Amino acid sequence: MFVLVEMVDTVRIPPWQFERKLNDSIAEELNKKLANKVVYNVGLCICLFDITKLEDAYVFPGDGASHTKVHFRYVVFHPFLDEILIGKIKGCSPEGVHVSLDFFDDILIPPESLQQPAKFDEAEQVWVWEYETEEGAHDLYMDTGEEIRFRVVDESFVDTSPTGPSSADATTSSEELPKKEAPYTLVGSISEPGLGLLSWWTSS
């Protein structure tokens, strides 16, 4: 689920922090910059693992702060393809089942990847697995808050860095803000035996 990513960056330490140990200031700055943020094509950054190398710190003319090039390793959430994860159902919509790990929410299981046959119950807004046995069909509901085991089948990174001022002029000045896209989303699947709500597969 988690990987170590080696990165290099230049960290700026303002003069009023010079009395602190350099390593501590740098660790704090790196965490401030990266924790809980998604890096494009890398994953969701969790926290600093360690600092592997500190190069010389320079002070440039006009800026009293010191600039240090730092080589460090960061803990990043980036599940590999086909990894099995356990999460909680956040809700259901016609697009599929939304699953959340407490620290990461943008996981979707599309309708075609659910245990088949599945139908969407409009009244209760919940996906249902119509499980057939000899006695007849059981309806297994995928309720909010239930723990669910799924396989990661796809991931997508969206570059959400700000674009320049758009050429389209005042047409949409009073309209709502453009839809916020999640920078990192996972697509899951539960169409195999053993996947789906944990309660479906526990033998009592």
Partner 1 sequence: MEVKDASSALLSNYEVFQLLTDLKEQRKESGKNKHSSGQQNLNTITYETLKYISKTPCRHQSPEIVREFLTAMKSHKLTKAEKLQLLNHRPVTAVEIQLMVEESEERLTEEQIEALLHTVTSILPAGPEAEQKKNANSDGTMDEEDPA
Chain positions contacting partner 1, by CB under 8 A: 1-9, 28, 31-32, 35-37, 39, 41-42, 46-47, 49, 71, 73, 75, 77-78, 80, 82-84, 86, 101-103, 149, 151, 192-195, 201, 203
Residues 6+ apart with CB under 8 A from 120: 92, 94, 111, 126, 127, 128
- Cβ closer to partner 1: 77 or 184? 77
Q: How far is the CB of 17 from partner 1 (least distance, A)?
A: 11
- Cβ closer to partner 1: 77 or 127? 77
- Cβ closer to partner 1: 149 or 187? 149
Question: What 3-state class would DSSP assign to 73?
Answer: strand
Nearest Cα to 192, choosing from 138, 130, 132, 116? 116
Q: How far is the CB of 194 from partner 1 (least distance, A)?
A: 4
Give me the sign of the Cα torsion angle 186, 190, 196, 202. negative
- Cβ closer to partner 1: 35 or 126? 35
Match 């920078």 to its residue by tokens.
Answer: 183
